[in-house]
């Protein structure tokens, strides 16, 4: 800020650094982690339950309303948590600004793509069963 | 080339190896591995939605030796990230920060994750082999 700058210092700080989001990232990483404790255990148990199931049984299981709902919740939470975690890894270890920005955008894109593809698959199974 | 010429963390070479360091590094490494492994979840769901032939192909790949090896690795990564994640949540709540507790909980994360992985695969293999 120069002497000619008539803006209040808070105007310069807003939108930069942690003043943009505060603890939002940290908090959502914990919230999604707490949800994933339950959802991931449920997912593993469900997959183990389908170990020797034939195609029709596996599809019917996924098509059940509660399973479809929990599965969609699981994949959305999973990709949200993964995107937040990978973001921290990139921010910590990629020290070239341009490369870091590209990776952060790529992570977001891939996470949204993965989440939406999974949701679409579950909906297709649940609604066309 | 990094944007700065000053030394950048982590300065792993100046530390003596200790279990808290291993549990921390493993948490990040398993997190990255699981993010990559999530492709398998998407692939499985897409295969199931895509029809019986698609799903059989997915099962064939997942049940192959390489597939089983990856599944074994991912299952341990999941259980480790789960156990150590719970440990981190407890620490976020402000508990378990004494050095002795910190070291012990690191070993517990590692130990419990190995036990859960072995139990899971004992079930998979005794229930009649590959998926």
Q: Say what the pTM is.
A: 0.88
**CA-CA-CA-CA torsion sign (A29, A33, A39, A42):** positive
Contact A52, B124 (CB under 8 A): no
The span from the CA of B8 to the CA of A129, in Å, is 54
Contact B51, A121 (CB under 8 A): no
- DSSP string spanning A34-50? HHHHHHHHHHHHHHHHT
Determine phi and psi for A49, rounding to 5 degrees: -65, -25
> Rounded to whole angstroms, what are the CA distances from A89 to A104, A107, B24, B31?
10, 11, 13, 10
Residues in chain B where the model's pLDDT stays below 50 = 131
Contact B108, B87 (CB under 8 A): yes
Tens digit of each residue's pLDDT (9 = 90 or more) over A3-58:
678 888 888 777 776 655 668 889 999 999 999 999 999 999 999 999 889 999 99
Omega of the bond prior to B10 within 30 degrees of 0, cis?
yes
Q: Per the CB < 8 Å rule, is A41 touching B82?
A: yes
pLDDT at A17: 66
Q: Per the CB < 8 Å rule, is A44 touching B120?
A: yes
Determine phi and psi for B88, rounding to 5 degrees: -65, -40
pLDDT at B60: 94
For residue B45, give the nearest of A55, A82, A121 by CB distance: A121
Q: Per the CB < 8 Å rule, is A33 touching B89?
A: yes
pLDDT greater than 70 at residue A87: yes
Taking alpha carbons only, the member of B39, B47, B74, B78 closest to residue A111 is: B39
The span from the CA of A46 to the CA of A67, in Å, is 9
The span from the CA of A107 to the CA of B53, in Å, is 31
* Residue owning tokens 């002795």: B100
CB contacts of B125 in chain A (<8 Å) are none
pLDDT at B71: 96
Q: Per the CB < 8 Å rule, is A48 touching B39?
A: no
Instruction: Specify the higher pLDDT residue, A1 or B32.
Output: B32
Residue B93's SS3 state is coil
pLDDT at A72: 98
Query: B74 CB contacts (<8 Å, ≥6 apart)?
Result: B33, B34, B37, B40
For residue A121, give the nearest of B48, B88, B89 by CB distance: B48
For residue A62, give the nearest of B48, B123, B127 by CB distance: B48
E runs forming strands in B22-98:
none
């Amino acid at each position: 800020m120069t002497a000619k700058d008539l803006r209040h210092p808070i105007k310069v700080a807003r939108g930069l650094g942690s003043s943009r989001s505060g603890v939002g990232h940290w908090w959502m990483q914990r919230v999604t982690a707490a949800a994933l404790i339950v959802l991931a255990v449920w997912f593993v148990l469900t997959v183990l339950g389908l170990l020797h199931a034939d195609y029709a049984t596996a599809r019917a299981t996924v098509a059940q309303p509660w399973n479809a709902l929990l599965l969609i919740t699981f994949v959305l939470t999973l990709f949200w948590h993964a995107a937040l975690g990978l973001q921290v890894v990139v921010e910590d270890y990629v020290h070239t600004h341009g490369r870091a920005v590209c990776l952060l955008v790529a992570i977001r894109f891939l996470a949204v793509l993965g989440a939406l593809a999974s949701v679409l698959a579950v909906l297709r199974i649940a609604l066309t069963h | 080339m990094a944007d700065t010429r000053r030394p950048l963390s982590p300065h792993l070479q100046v530390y003596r190896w200790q279990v808290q360091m291993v549990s921390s590094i493993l948490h990040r490494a398993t997190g990255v591995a699981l993010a990559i492994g999530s492709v398998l979840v998407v692939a499985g769901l897409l295969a199931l939605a895509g029809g019986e032939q698609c799903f059989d192909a997915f099962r064939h790949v997942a049940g192959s030796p390489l597939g089983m090896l990856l599944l074994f690795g991912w299952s341990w990564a999941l259980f480790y990230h789960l156990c150590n994640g719970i440990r981190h949540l407890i620490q976020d709540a402000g508990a378990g920060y004494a050095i002795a507790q910190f070291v012990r909980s690191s070993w517990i994360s590692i130990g419990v994750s190995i036990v859960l992985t072995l139990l899971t695969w004992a079930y998979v293999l005794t229930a009649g082999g590959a998926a």
